[in-house]
Amino acid sequence: MITTNSLQRTLGRSGLQVSAMGLGCWAIGGPWKWLDGQGGWGDIDDNESIRAIQHALDSGINFFDTAANYGTGHSERILGRALAGKRDKAVIATKFGFVVDEANKQVTMRKDDHLQYVRQECEDSLKRLNIDAIDLYQLHVWDYPIEKVPAMVDLLESLVKDGKIRHYGWSTDSAEGARLFAQGKHCASIQHDLNVVLDAPEMLKVCEELNLASVNRSPLARGALSGKYAKGTTFPQNDVRNDEWSKDHFFAPTLNQLDAIREILTSNGRTLVQGALAWIWARSEKTIPIPGFKTVAQVDENAKAMQFGPLTAEQMKEIDSLLGR
């Protein structure tokens, strides 16, 4: 067994050393409205969120991913509070690109040119996080028009020059878009879906070829890989997992195939969560999964996955075979 602190990765071209697993701070933003539905993961306890973030630091996790969307700024504020006096111990990533209405807890799509708002959005995030510079600033608009990418990259490069951000990336599942974004000198990462059931070979190829970090959202398929839920599970009304996208894209395919690979994922004393993270690390040296959390206990289970490290090559081949890949 390897020690927790020995499992680290380089954040793409940035050269920054980060824990091989980060924490996704979506859930700690609490309830908020997204378009016509829910954007949050149900009710939260801010004090527990802060304890969980600080426990993560103590457990060797130093990479935290949030967004202006999450709780319409609340997640950024809580992360800032938790890291007060500890800024030098953390690598902070956040995201931008939507209209965030903090007063009404509502996030909507922009209908006009994003570029004119980016600088103000950056300033707003800096204030909420209570920091001087953002380590990784990521475009959150997954379907941002390809033809507008060069101008966006130029703007982000100017924010680097001004000392507002250190590096940037894009949260997208478009491999074509990722290649174009990566033409920017300080582009360090692409954030995209990846888990043991939902592979992303084309995006991983881009990240490996261009030396980008593959920051992995939905590494536990929105909780479907935790082993806690069954088909037909219902969630609170203010939980985003009630939407059809979560059910069709994550829960249904995952729960349909989980039994076939459960034994491999729970090998060597791992929990199912720890096995799912181990698969991601074995998939590519560029991967950095960012599982979400609400409690100290969840962070503790996630962090202990680093003690086991990745699955073996043989286990990876067996999973591909069982899943028909």
Q: Block means of pLDDT (10 residues each) for the chain, length 325 residues?
A: 61 96 97 88 95 97 98 98 97 97 95 92 98 98 95 98 98 97 98 97 98 97 84 78 76 87 96 98 97 97 95 98 94
Catalytic pick from 70, 137, 168, 229?
70
- Per residue in 92-130, pLDDT (tens digit) is 999 999 999 999 999 999 988 889 999 999 999 999 999
- Per residue in 199-253, pLDDT (tens digit) is 999 999 999 999 999 999 999 988 889 888 777 777 788 877 877 777 777 878 8
Rounded CA gap, 144 and 206, in Å? Answer: 18
What is the per-residue pLDDT for 235? 79
- Bin 269: left if φ > 0, else alpha if -120 < ψ < 50, else beta: left
Q: Is 144 a catalytic residue?
A: no
Q: How far is CA 296 from CA 47, 50, 57, 203, 221, in A?
A: 10, 9, 11, 32, 20
The model's pTM: 0.95
Residues pairing with 64 in the sheet: 23, 92
Residues 6+ apart with CB under 8 A from 232: none
Rounded CA gap, 283 and 319, in Å? Answer: 11
For the chain, give the mean pLDDT: 93
Q: Which two tokens stand for residue 113?
A: 């040119």
Rounded CA gap, 68 and 296, in Å? Answer: 23
DSSP state of 282: H
Cβ atoms of 84 and 130 closer than 8 Å:
yes
